[in-house]
Structure formats: structure tokens, C-alpha cells
Amino acid sequence: MSKWRRFNGEQIVSIKKTVEETIIKEIAEGSRLKVCIGSDSQVRGDSVEFATVIVFLREKKGGFMFIYNERSTQQFSLKERMLTEVAKSIGIAYELCDLFDLYDVDMEVHADINTNPNFESNTALKEAMGYILGMGFAFKAKPEAFASSCCADKVV
């Protein structure tokens, strides 16, 4: 069973099929779409909880998101955890990128990593940027990375 869900809790059986149906519906309703994918995590006791989101932005008409939550008992350094978040975002971006190309939908991958070197998460910035750009995706980091730092942050 899929762990993908809508914000209201409704389960999503096939994320790829649901994303395609969503794109078709939104385009038919006249929306110009942009998709932002991001992940965040929180250490909770002996485990790490991850959330990955697919945020659909409708130009001048708001947005909505699909959510995937998972838990790991693996111990991570901060840098490993940041790069694991990026890997989760890239994984779903790669799975869906053919749909975004087919329907001409702009897509960005957002990393919950600070561009300010005074923040600890900055140690993963170069690797994360290289990973995302190397996969051919548009990249955003904090403070522009709202999909990871705001949306995923709220559902982790």
C-alpha cells in the first residue's frame, strides 16, 4: 500500500497516475502549473521521520500538495540526513520528470539546506546542489526552498 496521501489524509494508490490525472485536470481548467518537490526530516528519539512533498502551484490560483511520510531507525550525521532528504526528493522527481516534460510543467527540487555558511546544514550545500543539478533538475535552497523548509516541514 502506498504511503502517498493528500493533505486531507486521503490515500493515493499510484502517485504517478494521480500526478498525471492532476496535471491533465488542472491544464483543462486553465491553470498554468509549476511543481516543486522537497523533503524534510526530524529526529524523534531513536528514529528519523522524513516527509517528501510534491507541491503544485497554480499561477495566481494557490496550490496544493501530495505527501509521503516514512520513518527510519538508521542513525545519520546531519550532513547524511540532509543528503538523504535530497535523495528522496530526487527519487520522486526522477520518477515523475517524464510527465512534467510531456505536459510542459516546470519543476524544481527544493533542498532544506541553508545557503548561509553560519548554519550547520550548509555543510551539505555543495553536494546537494551538484546532485540535483547533475540530474538535470532546477535547484532551490533556503530561503527559496519553501517546498522543503515550509511544506514538508509542516507534515514531518
Q: Domain count of the chain?
A: 1
Strands (E), 9-154: 33-44, 47-58, 63-72, 106-114, 138-142
Is the whole-model pTM more than 0.85? yes
* Confidence grade of residue 95 (pLDDT, cut at 50, 70, 90): very high
pLDDT of 20 strictly over 70: yes
Q: Residue 38 — φ and ψ, nearest 5°?
A: -155, 160
Mean pLDDT to the nearest integer, 100-108: 98
Residue 109 is predicted with a pLDDT of 98
Of 53 and 2, which is predicted with more confidence? Answer: 53
Mean pLDDT to the nearest integer, 85-96: 98
Residue 82 is predicted with a pLDDT of 95
Task: Quote the mean pLDDT of the chain.
Answer: 95
Mean pLDDT to the nearest integer, 14-38: 97
* Confidence grade of residue 2 (pLDDT, cut at 50, 70, 90): low
With residue 4 as reference, give the H or E element that holds it. Answer: strand 4-6
Mean pLDDT to the nearest integer, 100-111: 98
CA distance 23 to 88: 22
Of 2 and 128, which is predicted with more confidence? Answer: 128
Find the domain containing 16 and state its range.
4-155
